[in-house]
Amino acid sequence: MTSGNAVDLQFIAPQILQIKMQDRVSKNTFSEAITQGLMDAFAEAECLPDCKVVILTGYDNYFASGGTQEQLLNLSDGRGAFTDRALYSLPLHCPVPVISAMQGHGIGGGFVLGMFADLIVLGRENIYTTNFMRYGFTPGMGATFILPHKLGLGLATEMMLTANTYRGEELQQRGIPFPVVPRDQVMARALELAQTLAEKPRVSLVALKDHLSAPLRQALPATIAQEVAMHTVTFTQPEVKSKIATLFGT
Protein backbone atom coordinates (compact mmCIF):
# COMPACT_ATOMS: atom_id res chain seq x y z
CA MET A 1 0.00 0.00 0.00
CA THR A 2 1.14 3.54 -0.71
CA SER A 3 0.24 6.77 1.00
CA GLY A 4 1.34 10.38 1.01
CA ASN A 5 1.64 10.42 -2.79
CA ALA A 6 -0.46 11.98 -5.55
CA VAL A 7 -2.41 8.71 -5.56
CA ASP A 8 -3.09 6.96 -2.27
CA LEU A 9 -3.86 3.23 -2.20
CA GLN A 10 -5.23 1.55 0.90
CA PHE A 11 -7.85 -0.84 2.21
CA ILE A 12 -10.57 1.20 3.92
CA ALA A 13 -12.62 -1.85 4.91
CA PRO A 14 -12.14 -5.60 4.57
CA GLN A 15 -11.64 -6.44 0.88
CA ILE A 16 -12.47 -2.86 -0.21
CA LEU A 17 -9.56 -0.98 -1.74
CA GLN A 18 -9.63 2.80 -2.11
CA ILE A 19 -7.66 4.58 -4.83
CA LYS A 20 -7.63 8.25 -3.94
CA MET A 21 -6.39 10.94 -6.32
CA GLN A 22 -4.91 13.75 -4.22
CA ASP A 23 -2.53 15.84 -6.28
CA ARG A 24 -3.23 19.19 -4.65
CA VAL A 25 -0.59 20.97 -6.71
CA SER A 26 -2.33 20.11 -9.99
CA LYS A 27 -5.88 19.99 -8.55
CA ASN A 28 -6.12 16.44 -9.86
CA THR A 29 -5.40 17.26 -13.48
CA PHE A 30 -3.65 14.38 -15.23
CA SER A 31 -0.19 15.37 -14.07
CA GLU A 32 2.65 12.89 -14.40
CA ALA A 33 2.23 12.11 -10.70
CA ILE A 34 -1.50 11.36 -11.08
CA THR A 35 -1.08 9.45 -14.34
CA GLN A 36 1.72 7.18 -13.14
CA GLY A 37 0.13 6.88 -9.71
CA LEU A 38 -3.16 5.66 -11.16
CA MET A 39 -1.47 3.18 -13.46
CA ASP A 40 0.61 1.81 -10.58
CA ALA A 41 -2.38 1.68 -8.23
CA PHE A 42 -4.61 -0.25 -10.63
CA ALA A 43 -1.74 -2.61 -11.44
CA GLU A 44 -1.28 -3.28 -7.73
CA ALA A 45 -5.00 -3.72 -7.18
CA GLU A 46 -5.06 -6.40 -9.85
CA CYS A 47 -2.45 -8.38 -7.92
CA LEU A 48 -4.15 -8.24 -4.52
CA PRO A 49 -6.12 -11.46 -3.93
CA ASP A 50 -7.95 -9.90 -0.97
CA CYS A 51 -9.36 -7.09 -3.09
CA LYS A 52 -12.97 -7.58 -4.18
CA VAL A 53 -13.89 -4.01 -5.10
CA VAL A 54 -12.12 -0.71 -5.79
CA ILE A 55 -13.46 2.72 -4.88
CA LEU A 56 -11.93 5.46 -7.04
CA THR A 57 -12.23 8.94 -5.54
CA GLY A 58 -10.58 12.35 -5.25
CA TYR A 59 -9.91 14.89 -2.53
CA ASP A 60 -11.97 17.81 -1.17
CA ASN A 61 -13.94 19.35 -4.06
CA TYR A 62 -11.93 17.68 -6.84
CA PHE A 63 -12.55 14.27 -8.33
CA ALA A 64 -10.46 14.61 -11.49
CA SER A 65 -9.80 17.61 -13.72
CA GLY A 66 -8.61 16.17 -17.04
CA GLY A 67 -5.54 17.06 -19.07
CA THR A 68 -3.02 19.68 -18.00
CA GLN A 69 -2.52 22.82 -20.07
CA GLU A 70 0.92 21.58 -21.10
CA GLN A 71 -0.53 18.29 -22.31
CA LEU A 72 -3.19 20.04 -24.36
CA LEU A 73 -0.68 22.43 -25.91
CA ASN A 74 1.54 19.47 -26.82
CA LEU A 75 -1.40 17.78 -28.53
CA SER A 76 -2.17 20.98 -30.43
CA ASP A 77 1.45 20.96 -31.66
CA GLY A 78 1.09 17.36 -32.82
CA ARG A 79 3.26 15.96 -30.05
CA GLY A 80 1.80 12.72 -28.76
CA ALA A 81 -1.78 11.51 -28.37
CA PHE A 82 -4.05 10.69 -25.45
CA THR A 83 -3.53 7.03 -26.36
CA ASP A 84 0.13 7.19 -25.35
CA ARG A 85 -1.00 6.01 -21.91
CA ALA A 86 -4.45 4.45 -21.66
CA LEU A 87 -5.31 6.15 -18.39
CA TYR A 88 -8.98 6.60 -19.22
CA SER A 89 -9.91 2.90 -19.38
CA LEU A 90 -8.17 1.70 -16.20
CA PRO A 91 -11.49 1.18 -14.34
CA LEU A 92 -12.93 -0.74 -17.29
CA HIS A 93 -9.98 -3.14 -17.43
CA CYS A 94 -9.67 -3.65 -13.67
CA PRO A 95 -10.69 -7.29 -13.03
CA VAL A 96 -12.80 -6.45 -9.96
CA PRO A 97 -15.71 -3.99 -9.91
CA VAL A 98 -14.78 -0.32 -9.65
CA ILE A 99 -16.99 2.34 -8.04
CA SER A 100 -16.38 5.98 -8.95
CA ALA A 101 -17.11 8.03 -5.84
CA MET A 102 -17.16 11.39 -7.61
CA GLN A 103 -17.26 13.49 -4.45
CA GLY A 104 -15.83 16.51 -6.27
CA HIS A 105 -15.84 18.15 -9.66
CA GLY A 106 -15.33 15.93 -12.71
CA ILE A 107 -13.97 17.95 -15.62
CA GLY A 108 -13.25 16.84 -19.19
CA GLY A 109 -11.20 13.67 -19.19
CA GLY A 110 -11.63 13.49 -15.42
CA PHE A 111 -15.38 13.06 -15.81
CA VAL A 112 -14.81 10.51 -18.57
CA LEU A 113 -12.45 8.52 -16.33
CA GLY A 114 -15.20 8.28 -13.72
CA MET A 115 -17.72 7.09 -16.30
CA PHE A 116 -15.58 4.06 -17.12
CA ALA A 117 -16.29 2.63 -13.65
CA ASP A 118 -18.87 -0.11 -13.14
CA LEU A 119 -20.85 1.83 -10.56
CA ILE A 120 -20.93 5.61 -10.11
CA VAL A 121 -21.99 7.99 -7.34
CA LEU A 122 -22.20 11.72 -8.02
CA GLY A 123 -22.36 14.72 -5.70
CA ARG A 124 -25.40 16.98 -5.94
CA GLU A 125 -23.47 20.25 -5.67
CA ASN A 126 -20.51 19.33 -7.87
CA ILE A 127 -19.78 20.41 -11.43
CA TYR A 128 -19.52 17.78 -14.15
CA THR A 129 -18.57 18.71 -17.68
CA THR A 130 -17.12 17.37 -20.90
CA ASN A 131 -15.50 20.69 -21.80
CA PHE A 132 -13.36 19.56 -24.75
CA MET A 133 -15.27 21.66 -27.28
CA ARG A 134 -14.86 24.74 -25.09
CA TYR A 135 -11.34 24.81 -26.46
CA GLY A 136 -12.47 23.85 -29.94
CA PHE A 137 -11.17 20.26 -30.15
CA THR A 138 -13.29 17.14 -30.29
CA PRO A 139 -13.68 14.86 -27.26
CA GLY A 140 -11.15 12.11 -26.59
CA MET A 141 -10.32 9.51 -23.96
CA GLY A 142 -13.23 7.40 -25.11
CA ALA A 143 -15.79 10.09 -24.25
CA THR A 144 -17.74 9.60 -27.48
CA PHE A 145 -18.03 5.91 -26.60
CA ILE A 146 -18.67 5.75 -22.87
CA LEU A 147 -20.85 8.83 -22.33
CA PRO A 148 -23.70 7.73 -24.66
CA HIS A 149 -23.48 4.26 -23.11
CA LYS A 150 -23.71 5.51 -19.53
CA LEU A 151 -25.80 8.70 -19.85
CA GLY A 152 -27.92 8.06 -22.93
CA LEU A 153 -27.33 9.46 -26.40
CA GLY A 154 -29.36 12.64 -25.97
CA LEU A 155 -27.73 13.96 -22.82
CA ALA A 156 -24.25 12.79 -23.84
CA THR A 157 -24.55 14.52 -27.21
CA GLU A 158 -25.68 17.74 -25.54
CA MET A 159 -22.85 17.63 -23.01
CA MET A 160 -20.20 17.06 -25.65
CA LEU A 161 -21.45 19.54 -28.25
CA THR A 162 -22.19 22.41 -25.87
CA ALA A 163 -19.33 21.80 -23.39
CA ASN A 164 -21.69 23.20 -20.75
CA THR A 165 -21.28 22.56 -17.04
CA TYR A 166 -23.89 20.64 -15.08
CA ARG A 167 -24.43 20.32 -11.36
CA GLY A 168 -25.02 16.81 -10.12
CA GLU A 169 -28.51 17.84 -9.10
CA GLU A 170 -29.30 18.88 -12.68
CA LEU A 171 -28.03 15.58 -14.06
CA GLN A 172 -30.23 13.81 -11.53
CA GLN A 173 -33.23 15.78 -12.79
CA ARG A 174 -32.28 14.77 -16.34
CA GLY A 175 -32.68 11.14 -15.32
CA ILE A 176 -29.13 9.77 -15.16
CA PRO A 177 -29.15 6.18 -13.83
CA PHE A 178 -26.73 6.74 -10.92
CA PRO A 179 -27.17 7.79 -7.30
CA VAL A 180 -26.76 11.55 -6.81
CA VAL A 181 -26.39 12.51 -3.16
CA PRO A 182 -25.06 15.50 -1.18
CA ARG A 183 -21.32 15.60 -1.81
CA ASP A 184 -20.50 14.92 1.83
CA GLN A 185 -22.43 11.64 1.52
CA VAL A 186 -20.83 10.38 -1.70
CA MET A 187 -18.17 8.26 -0.03
CA ALA A 188 -20.66 6.78 2.44
CA ARG A 189 -22.95 5.74 -0.41
CA ALA A 190 -20.01 4.31 -2.37
CA LEU A 191 -18.83 2.37 0.68
CA GLU A 192 -22.34 1.01 1.17
CA LEU A 193 -22.34 -0.25 -2.41
CA ALA A 194 -18.84 -1.67 -2.00
CA GLN A 195 -19.79 -3.57 1.14
CA THR A 196 -22.71 -5.14 -0.70
CA LEU A 197 -20.33 -6.29 -3.43
CA ALA A 198 -17.73 -7.53 -0.95
CA GLU A 199 -20.26 -10.02 0.43
CA LYS A 200 -20.00 -11.94 -2.86
CA PRO A 201 -17.24 -14.43 -3.78
CA ARG A 202 -14.34 -12.74 -5.58
CA VAL A 203 -14.30 -15.36 -8.32
CA SER A 204 -17.95 -14.63 -9.08
CA LEU A 205 -17.41 -10.86 -9.07
CA VAL A 206 -14.49 -11.18 -11.48
CA ALA A 207 -16.39 -13.56 -13.78
CA LEU A 208 -19.49 -11.35 -13.93
CA LYS A 209 -17.53 -8.14 -14.47
CA ASP A 210 -15.57 -9.79 -17.27
CA HIS A 211 -18.81 -10.88 -18.91
CA LEU A 212 -20.60 -7.54 -18.52
CA SER A 213 -17.66 -5.43 -19.66
CA ALA A 214 -16.57 -7.63 -22.58
CA PRO A 215 -18.71 -5.83 -25.19
CA LEU A 216 -17.34 -2.47 -24.02
CA ARG A 217 -13.73 -3.64 -24.05
CA GLN A 218 -14.15 -5.10 -27.53
CA ALA A 219 -15.88 -2.05 -29.02
CA LEU A 220 -13.75 0.67 -27.43
CA PRO A 221 -10.62 0.48 -29.65
CA ALA A 222 -12.54 1.38 -32.82
CA THR A 223 -13.96 4.52 -31.19
CA ILE A 224 -10.54 5.47 -29.81
CA ALA A 225 -9.10 5.26 -33.32
CA GLN A 226 -11.87 7.54 -34.59
CA GLU A 227 -11.27 10.05 -31.78
CA VAL A 228 -7.55 10.14 -32.56
CA ALA A 229 -8.36 10.73 -36.24
CA MET A 230 -10.62 13.66 -35.30
CA HIS A 231 -7.86 15.07 -33.09
CA THR A 232 -5.44 15.17 -36.01
CA VAL A 233 -7.88 17.56 -37.69
CA THR A 234 -9.33 19.56 -34.80
CA PHE A 235 -6.31 20.00 -32.50
CA THR A 236 -4.19 21.60 -35.21
CA GLN A 237 -6.43 24.64 -35.66
CA PRO A 238 -4.68 27.87 -34.53
CA GLU A 239 -7.89 28.86 -32.75
CA VAL A 240 -7.63 25.78 -30.54
CA LYS A 241 -4.10 26.55 -29.39
CA SER A 242 -5.17 30.11 -28.62
CA LYS A 243 -8.15 28.97 -26.58
CA ILE A 244 -6.03 26.51 -24.60
CA ALA A 245 -3.51 29.27 -23.86
CA THR A 246 -6.10 31.84 -22.79
CA LEU A 247 -9.11 29.94 -21.40
CA PHE A 248 -7.49 27.06 -19.53
CA GLY A 249 -8.45 27.05 -15.86
CA THR A 250 -11.03 29.84 -16.16
Q: Which amino acid is at 246?
A: T
* Catalytic member of 105, 149, 211, 231: 231
H/E run at residue 72: helix 69-76
56: closest CA among 5, 110, 128?
110
**Edge-to-edge strands, sheet with 53-57:** 7-13, 16-21, 53-57, 98-102, 119-123, 180-181
Q: Where are the beta strands (DSSP E) in the chain?
A: 7-13, 16-21, 53-57, 62-64, 98-102, 105-107, 119-123, 127-129, 165-167, 180-181
In the beta sheet, which residues pair with residue 107? 129
- Say if residues 94 and 54 touch (Cβ distance below 8 Å): yes
Is 93 catalytic? The answer is no
Q: What gap in Å lies between CA 90 and CA 123, rounded to an integer?
A: 22
- Vertex 154: Cα angle to 149 and 158 (nearest 5): 105
In the beta sheet, which residues pair with residue 64? 106
Q: Enumerate the active-site residues.
A: 231
